[in-house]
Chains A and B, each alone.
Chain A
Amino acid sequence: DSGVTQTPKHLITATGQRVTLRCSPRSGDLSVYWYQQSLDQGLQFLIQYYNGEERAKGNILERFSAQQFPDLHSELNLSSLELGDSALYFCASSVGEAGNEQFFGPGTRLTVL
């Protein structure tokens, strides 16, 4: 158990819908990262927040957005869902901004039908 929690574990929804994935980092960690993992794309970095501020951005679609709240938990919002958005979404956390060691949560498996 990494200490990072993610909810829900599984999510099944339809195309065009909007979902919110939630992540609570390890106690004391200020950085939160979001990743998408699909069979054809591998593990892709989406976005990083550090102490409430956006710190780095990957190839995150405009339909996706995230935020980190004052209590340091984070949410990833996915809207206008498409079939290709079906993937495993991981959240990770680290103590510092550089993320020398990231601790991954168990992931949320999103299925878009």
Chain B
Amino acid sequence: GQNIDQPTEMTATEGAIVQINCTYQTSGFNGLFWYQQHAGEAPTFLSYNVLDGLEEKGRFSSFLSRSKGYSYLLLKELQMKDSASYLCAVRGYNDYKLSFGAGTTVTVRA
């Protein structure tokens, strides 16, 4: 199975940078995903890492270290609309099941 841990809440100021950490313990690994979910809405895909290193996509970047079972999502130049829950998910090796963490609620303050 998968055990995924991420902080419950984070608060940051508009224009700042926030880093959301995710650690996982897994019996098999075939990719780590980040999704954004605004309150009452569906999750939307942000990023996918399967190899170690940093993937950059505009204001958002995601990092993976497979040996440490660790990932982070970096949000730069925070905007009010970035206030949302950020879900870390791990995909198993022999199947395509996604196991989600409980999510990190990010609040951006003016």
Q: Are B100 and A44 in contact (CB under 8 A)?
A: yes
The closest CB in chain A to the CB of B89 belongs to A43
Q: Are A42 and B42 in contact (CB under 8 A)?
A: no
Q: Are A105 and B42 in contact (CB under 8 A)?
A: yes
Secondary structure type dominating chain B contacts: loop
Secondary structure type dominating chain A contacts: strand
Residues of B within 8 A of A44 (CB): 100
- A98–B50 CA distance with the chains assembled, in angstroms: 12
Total contacting residues, chain B, CB less than 8 A: 18
Q: Are A43 and B100 in contact (CB under 8 A)?
A: yes
Within 8 A of A (CB), among B71-89: 87
Chain A interface residue number, banded: 20 to 34
Residues of B within 8 A of A57 (CB): 97
Q: Are B98 and A42 in contact (CB under 8 A)?
A: no
Please pick, from B48, B87, B99, the residue contacting A101 in the complex, using a CB distance under 8 A. B48
- A90–B42 CA distance with the chains assembled, in angstroms: 8
The contact string, 1 if C-beta is below 8 Å from chain A, for chain B 27-55, is: 00001000000000111110010000000
**How far, in Å, is B67 (CB) from chain A's closest CB?**
22
15 more A-B contacts (CB under 8 A) besides A42-B103, A56-B96?
Answer: A42-B101, A42-B102, A43-B87, A43-B100, A48-B97, A55-B96, A56-B95, A90-B43, A99-B98, A100-B31, A100-B48, A101-B45, A103-B45, A106-B41, A106-B42
